Amino acid sequence: MPAFEGLLPQKHDKIVQVLLFRLCEWHTLAKLRLHTETSLKLLGQSLRQLSDQIRKFQSCTCVAFQTVELPNEAAQRQRQEVAELQSGQRTKPSHSGPQCKTFNINTYKFHALGDYVGTIRMFGTTDSYTTQVVSVYPLHRLYYIADIHMKCRVNLLIESSRGFMGNQTRKMWSASSLHRSGGIQSSGGSAKP
């Protein structure tokens, strides 16, 4: 990795170089468009090597350097603290300088790395599915539809729990539901094939 070579002292530079290589290797194997049992075994081995290197990076390199939040992160945190002080949610301000930031491997992104092999076995390659929530309706329409659906369910539950859903109501309900599906054209007619 020539672009990163020599940026850190020799001991830490070697750790970072190996870590970058292991990340690239794992990523390349994870993004293959065709997997076999052999490629999945290689992905599992690559993950073990990557995990060892990440722990080595955390225990050796990260503790050797003191890192603090970026200036825009510190400014955002200070603005939020001022707003909390003005609204009364906070009673005393914290120190105003940049806070210390450490490398944290206890995040979902690191935790999810171990699930790739099983997920690929279950669902196929990572390019064949998405975890993005997809809808054909805009968000405000979904809220409207969900609200109507809940009102209908609540009304039906109340009527059925009272035990008196009159014949006229039953006819109207069944006619309107069949009308929506195209089965009945009028409320008193019979279903068309």
Q: What is the pLDDT of residue 89?
A: 80
- Strands 100-101 and 67-68: what pairing? antiparallel
Residue pLDDT, tens place only, 74-109: 889 888 888 888 888 877 777 777 889 999 999 999
Q: Spell out, as residue ranges, where the chain has pLDDT lower than 70.
A: 133-193
Q: What is the pLDDT of residue 185?
A: 44
What's the token pair of residue 64? 């050797």
Burial 15-24 (b: 16+ CB within 10 A, else e): bbbbbeebee
Enumerate helices (H) and strands (E) in the chain, giving the number of each: 8, 2
Q: What is the dihedral sign for C-alpha 91, 97, 102, 103?
A: positive
Contact status, residue 59 vs residue 144, Cβ threshold 8 Å: no
Q: What is the pLDDT of residue 115?
A: 93
For 49, left (φ over 0), alpha (ψ -120 to 50), or beta? alpha
CA angle 7, 13, 15 (to 5 degrees): 145
User: Residue written as tokens 């009527």?
Assistant: 159
Q: What is the pLDDT of residue 139?
A: 57
